[in-house]
Amino acid sequence: MDIKARAQVELLVRSFYTKVRAHPELSHVFDEVAEIDWQTHLPRMDDFWCSVLLHQKGFKGNPLQKHVALSFQTQLSAQLFGSWLKLFRETVDELFEGPGAEAAKARAAAISETMQRHIHAAHQPHSREALLNIQE
C-alpha cells in the first residue's frame, strides 16, 4: 500500500507519534518541554503531512518558527533529529511502499535538514532575533 490519501497519512502520523512518545529523548522534548496536547497536535500533524505529501490545503502554522523557539528551551541536537528521522523512516517502511512512501521519507529528511540549519543559524548572535520573528 502506498501513501495516496488522507487515511494513509493519518495512519502514518498515529503510528509514528506512538513511537515518538515511547522514545526516551524524543518523548522528553514533546511531552515535558513542549508539553504537547496530543489531542490537538495529531490532527494538526495530519493536516501538515497532507499538505506536504498530498498537496492538500488546510494546514495553517509555521513549524519552523515553533521549532526555532523550542530550541531555546532545550537542545534540539543533530542526534535528536536523527532519531526523529530514523523513527519516521522505519514507520513509513513498516506501513507503506511505493513512490508516495519514498517521497514521504525524502520530504522528512529535507524538513529535518531545514530545521537543523535554521536552528543552528538562530543560535548565532547576529541572526537570533531575525529567525525568531519568522512570520506565520
What string of pLDDT tens digits covers the 136 residues of the chain? 999 999 999 999 999 999 999 999 999 999 999 999 999 999 999 999 999 999 999 899 999 899 999 898 889 999 999 999 999 999 999 999 999 999 999 999 999 999 999 898 888 876 655 555 554 4
Q: Are 70 and 33 in contact (CB under 8 A)?
A: yes
- All structural domains of the chain, each given as residue ranges with its CATH number in brackets, are 6-132 (1.10.490.10)
- Report the C-alpha gap between 26 and 45 in whole angstroms: 16
pLDDT of residue 123: 84
Cell of 128: 537570533
pLDDT of residue 9: 98
Q: Are 102 and 89 in contact (CB under 8 A)?
A: no
